[in-house]
Amino acid sequence: MELFCFVRVFIFHKMKHIFFFLLISFSALAQIEKVEPPFWYEGMTHSDLQILFYGKNIAQNTVLVSNGVVIKSVQKTENQNYLFVTIDTKNVTAQDLVFTFKNGKKSFTKKYPIKKRKTNSKERKSFDSSDMVYLIMPDRFANGNPNNDSTVDTQEKGDRKNPGGRHGGDIEGIVQNLDYLQSLGVTALWSTPLCEDNDKVYSYHTYGQSDVYKIDSRYGTNEDYVRLSAEMKKRNLKLIMDYVTNHWGAEHWMFKDLPSYDWFHQFPGFAQSNYRMTTQFDSNASERDAKYCMDGWFVPSMPDLNQSNPLVVNYLVQNAIWWIEYADLDGFRVDTYSYNDKEGIAKWTKAITDEYPYFNIVGEVWMHNQAQISYWQKDSPISKIQSYNSYLPSVMDFTLHDVFGNVFNEDNANWSDGMIKFYENFTNDFLYANPNNLLIFAENHDTNRLNQIYKNDFKKYQMTLAILATMRGIPQLYAGSEIGMAGDKGKGDADIRQDFPGGWKEDANNAFSASGRTELQKQYFDVTAKLFNWRKNKAVIHSGKLKHYIPENNVYVYFRYSDTENVMVVINNNKEKQIIKLDRFKESIQYYKSGKDVLSGMTYDVTKEITVDGKSALILELN
């Protein structure tokens, strides 16, 4: 009996010690709540990997790593919950590294995966002037999985009745409609951000991100995003991520527990940006004005990231590279590029293009002057004056967008109105380092809708499309243009971001299907698909030279040509038909005798004169 009692007491004490040990171990492991990047890849140019370990008082630990990997630095901030550990991965092959964290006699370990890199990942090709980029807002495109319209880990729930609410569009909806994109002539997809935005309201635009390593659960999962990329690759479609470097959302976990006071711009706290991007290069600008442009917050719910902080820039660099590698991306569109700290954003851009030399990045530079837009393009002749280089390969051609916004309503041409606006826009191409790598567009998710401006005048849409499909640069179409969708920005953003008809099972009208389109939708879709499918294989449009002629009688004529091909484009912005005498274009027409119109299929004699209907376009392949 005594022996039994002794054994029972002994076992109790042993179990108590084991339980205490397990409790300590669990507590230690619980210290690490996040590791970012969650894993990395072998063979990266960015081999000095800075890993963020986050957890309660994690900085009180010393750190070791397995397999002889060199820890180059351990950086702490004023917040003890953060530890930035930089390791050299230059010669590290795919494996699980083991980090050991010690605090006195207590210690615990954490595995960190180094994964095998995709073959030829560094040399990946990107989107370029051979592509047609299709822009979608995923919440408004198609609801492929109604089960994730509302999720437990996000605050705002699905409510399609609310014009500015979450409507349920998701990654699965995109996957299900990839065939539609192909039939339209799309070759690259730009989706507005898909990472988590946990704002209480107005979160569908997803530009106020709360976790930049996690796809918003209302769109799907990280694995769903990877699957989208893979499904697109099967169809030779390219995936462009909308990346936000300037700000995060106020619900971001790092904003709620700041790594350091200067991780975000502080005034202290919020101060509104003055939105005057000219202060970035204005030699006469006051320091205060320049600061409030770069450092001011876009809106109170979007704290402004401090790209002059090396930890912030490196975090953004690694996050961007991680997404490219993990999701096999083909390009970036960068939101509000010219609001960033210009030296910091240049470092970010160069780091990415050093890793991927052929990777295209287009920056949103919403300005209304070619020299000012040019300033932000890589190797710009304008920014060289100030010895600045953004390293940004592509910028958005907002001055061309401005022309599209009113020119086809200007029936009576004069010295400054009508088609002369297009001509004058392109005369300034000499200001750009690479005008063929500009993103050209007539509308996007932030502007008034084209079909609203032109009251669904199909002829004006057709003229717009003719220029987008044949002019230098990379054409971008906003979802719904191709079926005549309109929307008035004056009524609010929700009106220019309406749901695509047919993306929800309850929709009576399904514009994704040829049989489901109305007559108006069919008319718009057919001409769009015809032009952009034709464009896919026209090298002369992708990379040929441009020669244009001063407009006369509101008629603009230009040629895209190479040594082997020649395309003549005629845009008649008159209400009345025009007879165009062709002797003025002899240097471009040369020995060609006829031209076949891409739109109508008709053949025109180009030796003397041609007749062009009012408010119409000809795209003549010369023979």
Residue in 403, 458, 447, 451 with CA at minimum distance from that of residue 426: 403
Q: What amino acid occupies position 358? A: Y
- Cα–Cα distances (Å) from 322 to 112, 278, 355, in that order, read 14, 32, 11
- Cα–Cα distances (Å) from 275 to 272, 292, 293, 352, 516, in that order, read 9, 8, 5, 26, 44
- C-alpha torsion 452→454→460→465, nearest 10: -30
Q: What amino acid occupies position 110? A: K
DSSP state of 158: B
Options 335, 341, 443, 621, the catalytic residue: 335
- CA–centroid distance for 318 within its chain: 17
Options 211, 251, 364, 443, the catalytic residue: 364
Element (H, E) at 30: helix 2-30
Residue 325 structure tokens? 């590698």
Q: Are 210 and 202 in contact (CB under 8 A)?
A: no
- Which positions ≥6 away from 526 have C-beta within 8 Å? none
**Is 216 known to be catalytic?**
no
Distance CA 101, CA 81 (A): 14
Distance CA 474, CA 541 (A): 10
CA-derived radius of gyration, the chain:
28
Residue 377 structure tokens? 């393009």
Q: Is the peptide bond before 393 cis (omega within 30 degrees of 0)?
A: no
Distance CA 40, CA 213 (A): 13
Sign of the alpha-carbon dihedral angle for 487, 461, 477, 428: negative
**Is 446 known to be catalytic?**
no
Q: Are 35 and 97 in contact (CB under 8 A)?
A: no
Which segments within 104-173 are labelled E, that is strand? 106-115, 133-136
Task: Write 164-167 long-range contacts (CB < 8 A, 24+).
Answer: 164/201, 164/202, 164/204, 164/492, 164/493, 164/494, 165/201, 165/204, 166/139, 166/203, 166/204, 166/218, 167/139, 167/140, 167/143, 167/204, 167/499, 167/504
Distance CA 521, CA 541 (A): 27
Phi, psi of 201 (to 5 degrees): -140, 160
513 CB neighbour count, 10 Å cutoff = 10
Burial class (CB in 10 A: 0-12, 13-18, 19+), 504: middle
- Which positions ≥6 away from 285 have C-beta within 8 Å? 278, 279
- Which positions ≥6 away from 161 have C-beta within 8 Å? none
3-state secondary structure 215-226: ECCCCCCHHHHH
Residue in 33, 37, 34, 35 with CA at minimum distance from that of residue 324: 37
DSSP state of 116: P
Task: Give the catalytic positions in this structure.
Answer: 335, 364
